[in-house]
Structure formats: structure tokens, C-alpha cells
Amino acid sequence: MKRSDRILNEVKLSFPSRSENESFARMAISGFVSQLDPQIDELSDIKTAVSEAVTNCIVHGYKNTLGIVTMTARLLVDNEVYIKITDKGCGIEDIEAAMTPLYTSAPDQDRAGLGFTIMESFMDSLSVKSKPGKGTSVTMRKKLTTRKASDENRRKA
């Protein structure tokens, strides 16, 4: 199967790195993913992971400057969701350190340093690519158990 054959639907959004757009990204991904009829907890996990990724772009990627955050989302066959959040901000010097729980590049801003940990725990896979001075890209995937599939499994039990 070609990659394009796996895509059921796709959306790409770009928005300024303003803090109020974090909630916009949450609502947008919620509406888009709802096409697959996910369970409430799965939808909540996805919204939280997107929120963390977008917040990282705003707080760390652009550090008090205005830039563009881009979110690409795909609904794939077999109820899988693909989400990529990118910025063209300052980039991450040491991705491994940045992904360590409690690490933060903004300790003066009362940041917990759990963004990547939360993304990793709520999604099935997480990939981070970054180049200093060029920006960062966070790719996440999650396979959903749709409510329709859950209802069928309950009826069989």
C-alpha cells in the first residue's frame, strides 16, 4: 500500500505563536480527529499532547518573539492519527536532554519540564527533530479504539 493510500483525510493549519492559539490548536485537532469517533479519553490524550507541543513552540521555540506554528494532521486507515507540529524557532541544542523529565530551558518561567514526557505517555509514538537556529518538528502517532469498535467488542463478550 502506498503512503497516500493510507491517508483518509488531512489538514494543515498555520497560526501565529500567540499563547491563545494553544487552545485553538486543541479545538482544531479535536474536531478533526472526531471523524474517527474516538473514545473520550483518547481524544483528551491527543488534545493534551497537541497542547504540550504547541506550548513548546510558543514558549521555547520562539522565546518572546512572534513566529508561525504549523500543525499537520492526518487520519490514516486502521484508525491511526498522525500529527506533526513544527516551528522555525531557535531549535533544540540537545534533544536527549530536552526530553528528560523535569528538564526545562525556561526555569525562570515556572515550567515543569514535562512536555515531552506527557506527549510520549499520551501518544503511541513520538519523534523530535530539531536544528539550532532552524526550528523543531514533533511528530506523534496514536492508534484509536473507536467507539464503534468498542461497542462491537462489548456485544461479542
Separation of alpha carbons 9 and 50, rounded Å: 18
Q: Which of 22, 26, 42, 56 is an active site residue?
A: 56
Give the residue among 103, 88, 75 at the shortest CA–CA distance from 135. 88
111 is catalytic: yes
Q: Which of 52, 74, 79, 120 is an active site residue?
A: 52
Q: Which of 6, 111, 141, 147 is an active site residue?
A: 111
79 is catalytic: no
93 is catalytic: no
Residues taking part in catalysis: 52, 56, 111
